[in-house]
Chain A
Amino acid sequence: MNIDLAPFILTFKLALAATTVLFLIGVPIAYACAFTKRKWKYIVEPLISMPLVLPPTVLGFYLLVFFSPNSFLGNFLATTLDINIVFSFLGLVIGSVLFSFPFMVNPIRAGLESLPPSLIEASYTLGKSRWKTLLNVILPNIKPSLLTGIVMAFAHTVGEFGVVLMLGGSIPGETRTVSIAIFSEVEALNYTTAGVYSGILFVISFTVLFVLNIINKKWLSVFR
């Protein structure tokens, strides 16, 4: 049995990158969805939740077609900026960000919506800008939601398969994440290796969710 750690390192690199990007764009989007009264949110909200119901292969397929070197965008990126999305780590990050979107945005949006509006208004009446209110009042008061979003997005990216396979293939060290490695090992009838990979992933996922629950309970008790 040959246990290769490269898929694990790659997987966590990918999850870290995707979660970071998701947090940076997820907070403003959740904020906009939670507080806007405009109609566009009725279009945007289902779009955000689409990855929950859409087979990952569908998203992967669209991305593959969209970014393939034969497409206009893929060609443009490859020739002028020398960026290849398909079968690259960057492609995996883009795919993962899109696919884990609801896992980051929905908890944060729920947290924002459960915050009493008058708390935000109190900050405004003290002369504080929206930005200052967001940083000092809103975000610190929805810490449990932020943590849930971060951990769920991270865990979901770790466990991703369909999008990664469609968009990234299985290039060792580049796009071969743990879930792909497990699939490849099973295909090659290396059940023991696949079992070890699966076991490790199982334990890690359980631990992450367990710790999240403990931290969240602790935080919530602070607010009581």
Chain B
Amino acid sequence: MQLDIDVEIMEAGISTLFGPSGVGKTTVLRMIAGLTNPDEGLIQVNGDVWFDSSRKINKPVQKRQIGFVFQDYNLFHNMTVQENLQYALKNKNDSFLIDEFLEMAALTGLADRKPLHLSGGQKQRVALIRTLLNKPQLFLLDEPFSALDLDMRLRLQDEFLSISNRFEIPTIFVSHDISEVFKLSHRVFVMKDGKIIRSGPPAEAFGTADAAAWVKLVGIVLAVQNEGSKRVAVLQIDNEITKVYLAMEDAQCWRTGDRVLLSVHAHDFSLAMINKMKP
């Protein structure tokens, strides 16, 4: 698959690359970080050229001043939490920041632990503050919460939002979790087949802006079954299971595993397809 991306992000805040697995989101993020080289093109941040194939410019990843948060945390197992942070800190005069950040992330009591003795949520908190210590000019996050269980994911999303508001670092976030995208992003770039097909604020990018007054819930179809003469879809929405009656003409197209957007307004609702489950 060929990746072909042309994007300009003018605003600070959180911009999200959204799309199914394998669409190239992570590759784009890695190219911005300098971990993967594009075949050709231009990457420019705050007027500074990071990559330009025509002028053979390729700023090394070490010099790009980014904060990169990986899905699998990537804490250094040979170091304690404190040592991980110390290692990351560029200016050793700022070591007071370590205690400050540990406190902010409620990790003070765990400073002497090795990463193996931390929970997934704690590990990702350490990874988050580790990248923030040097005040990066760009914050890149690659599905940072996807390995966590739902409760922890929701809690870390909240913490991440408050951190993001506090530090105001322009952020590019990669996710395939639409509820996460809705919650966190100021602006979404929806990717398909290596290209960006839509962009804008979440509601606009997902084509639901006209129904903005409605409550929108993202769910997964667990089963489609008959109840008397009616067709019923059993949906999982977060940790809840719910049933919705399907219009007869729609009944055929829903299948187990489909991701759906449930819009609820008074006594009315509609279902819209997000990702069709592959047969």
Contact = CB atoms under 8 A, between A and B. Distances in A.
Interface string A112-139: 0000101101111111110000001100
Given A136-B87, A224-B116, A124 B76 contact: no
Contact of A126 (B35, B77, B87, B114): B87
A223 interface: yes
B76 A119 contact: yes
Nearest to B63: A127
B14 to A, nearest CB: 19
A118 B70 contact: yes
Nearest to A223: B77
A143 B76 CA distance: 13
Interface string A39-52: 00000000000000
A129 B60 CA distance: 10
Contact of B76 (A125, A137, A222, A224): A137
Contact of B74 (A118, A140, A143, A223): A118
Interface residues of B, number: 23
- Per DSSP, are chain A's interface residues mostly helix, strand or loop, or mixed? helix
Interface residues of A, number: 20
A88 interface: no
A141 B35 contact: no
Contacts of B63: 127
B230 interface: no
Given A118-B72, A223-B116, A127 B78 contact: no
Interface in A93-126: 116, 118-119, 121-126
A122 B68 contact: yes
B235 interface: no
A128 B78 contact: no
Contacts of A116: 72, 74
B70 A122 contact: yes
Interface string A139-160: 0110100000000000000000
Interface of B: 33, 35, 61-63, 65-68, 70, 72, 74, 76-78, 87-88, 90, 114, 116, 130-131, 134
The 8 A-B residue pairs with the shortest CB-CB distance, nearest first, are A122-B74, A140-B78, A125-B68, A124-B61, A126-B88, A127-B62, A118-B74, A121-B35
Interface of A: 116, 118-119, 121-129, 136-137, 140-141, 143, 222-224
